[in-house]
Amino acid sequence: MAESGFGRDCCGVAWQGNPVLLRLLGLCPLLAVSDRVVTGLAIAILFALTMLWTQPLIAMLRDVVPVAVRLPCQAVIAACGVTVLHAAVQAALPPLAAALGVYLPVLAGCCLILVRAEESAWRRPVISAVRDAVAHAVGVIAFMAALSAVREALGHGTLLRDLELIVPGTGWSGFQVLPRGWRLPIASLPAGALLLFGAVLAVRNLIAAGRDGPAVRA
Amino acid sequence: MTALTARAAPWVLATVVLTAAALVVATDHGLQPIREKVRADAVRAMLSEVPMPPYDNDPATATSAVMRHEGASYIERIYRARRGGEPVGAWLVVRAPGYSGEMRLLIGVRGNGMVTAVRLLSQRETPGYGDRIAGSEAAWLGGFEGRALDNPLRRLWSVSSEGGAFDAVSGATITSRGVVHAVRDALAWYAGSEVAAPQPPVAAPAP
């Protein structure tokens, strides 16, 4: 994987340039539903799909769209993709749409997607924009998997609870990873998301400082 | 390819916006069958939790919004069970005031007005007290099985601390009373409008 440039790109973005950790962008829709692995991963995957929809389209249209209207065009393309995704989730998995609440439609205004559109897709050929979108999607999914797993394990004492939000019909209540009654309720509250996020950021910066030298900006 | 001039900007933007709008409308239209199927499946799963005498229709489609206040309760919707076209019973979705906010109940009623079962669909009662009627005291709801408007007598449809025939879940009198009254109100509405009103058409009497 590491010998191909694309694999290295993915790892590079996921770790060194992780969009969430390094730039603190897109926090609101992502952190808000990261109290469970199922919802955390769901929003991360929906984020990835939005990236894969917006970035190539914007790269394709960059020769056609005049500079003066590029921002509204980017916003409309992102909003269109998110609206379609939202309608699809509401139709096929209504409980998941209810669990994600407003944080799914709010992806349309996710600054991370709009910033990548303007910074990257608008300035690159399509193939390169797709690679960038995939790399960012991988970074966000990895980050959300880790954060939501820690939050769910501490806050609820389980992993993969409410799986039936994604796979209807499984009456499965998840792995019990902590003894019943042992839990840290704050981890599943919004404040816990920010506290743990800070902790993850600190650990990442510590490791990065050891490896790359102290020049990590946050 | 060179970027178009600024004069084209409004047209490009309009094209992008209209295309996006068309895409959204088309998707929404295409999703309609999936949406209906998923919704009907969810309703059938919900209804299958409450027993009913044998029926041969699809109650998920034999439904109508009721939207009637009855006492302190609100009858939201009815799903009808029929066998050979004859009504054999119905499921009623009822909202009732609990101790903190609204509870939603699913009540199964036979054609003769007898309760088959009561399930709690959602509640926001106090953890450890009122919410036990959905948790450790869930069997309490089983006490409604076989009840009807005249069993117990109508004035006894309350909790025992108010002279009624139903023991409240301890520590959750208000929640329990809300449920008891909701079942009573649902039965009263059902007896009044669903059973009494739609009589089979009678031939007009000879003049």
Residue A2 vs residue B33, higher pLDDT: B33
Q: What is the mean pLDDT of residues B63-68?
A: 90
Residues B85 and B44 in one domain: no
The reply to whether B108 and B173 lie within a common domain is yes
Q: Do residue B86 and residue B172 come from a single domain? A: yes
> Are residues B98 and B12 part of one domain?
no
Contact residues, chain A, for B2 at CB < 8 Å: 63
Residues of B in contact with A76 (CB under 8 A): 16-17, 20
| Per-residue pLDDT at B1 | 43
What pTM was computed for the model? Answer: 0.76
| Domain locations along chain A | 27-204
Q: Judge: B9–A76 Cβ closer than 8 Å, yes or no.
A: no
Question: Which H/E stretch holds residue B108?
Answer: strand B102-110
Verify whether the Cβ–Cβ distance B12 to A66 is below 8 Å: yes
Report the DSSP pairing between strands B63-70 and B102-110: unpaired
> Is there a single domain that holds both residue B79 and residue B161?
yes
Same domain, B109 and B83: yes
Preceding peptide of A72 cis, ω within 30°: no
Distance CA B123, CA B106 (A): 12
% of chain A beyond a pLDDT of 90: 28
| pLDDT tier for residue B200 given thresholds of 50, 70 and 90 | very low
Note whether B44 and B121 are same-domain residues. Answer: no
Domain count, chain B: 2
pLDDT band at A5 (very low <50, low <70, confident <90, very high): low
Is residue B179 included in any domain, yes or no? yes
- The whole-angstrom separation of Cα B37 and Cα A212 is 54
Show Cβ contacts of residue B21 under 8 Å, excluding neighbours closer than 6 positions. A80
Q: What range does the domain containing B155 cover?
A: 63-191
* Two structure tokens written together for A101: 């609440």
Residues B34 and B93 in one domain: no
Whether residues B136 and B179 fall in one domain: yes
Q: What is the mean pLDDT of residues B72-78?
A: 94
Contact B3 A63 (CB under 8 A): yes
Of A1 and B60, more confident: B60
d(CA B179, CA B147): 13
Whether the CB of B26 is below 8 Å from some CB of chain A: the reply is: no
> Which one of A57, A63, A74, A84 would you mutate to disrupt binding with B, by most B Cβ within 10 Å of its Cβ?
A84
Average pLDDT over residues A35-49: 93
Is residue B168, in this structure, part of any structural domain at all? yes
Secondary structure (H, E, C), B53-75: CCCCCCCCCCEEEEEEEECCEEE
Residue B198 lies in a domain: no
| Shared domain check, B138 and B39 | no
Region label for B91, one of left (φ > 0), alpha (ψ between -120 and 50) or beta (otherwise): beta
Gyration radius of chain B's alpha carbons: 24
Q: Which residues in chain A belong to E strands, given as ranges?
A: 158-159, 175-176
Q: What are phi and psi of B122, to 5 degrees?
A: -160, 155
B70 lies in the same domain as B168:
yes
Per-residue pLDDT tens digits for A135-172: 889 988 988 998 899 899 988 888 888 888 888 777 77
Same domain, B104 and B173: yes
Among A22, A30, A35, CA closest to A191: A35
The distance of Cα B153 from the centroid of its chain, to the nearest Å, equals 25
For residue B110, give the nearest of B161, B152, B54, B169 by alpha carbon.
B54
Q: Is residue B205 part of a domain?
A: no
> How high does pLDDT run on average in chain A?
84
- Half-sphere exposure (CA, 13 Å, Cβ side) for A176? 4
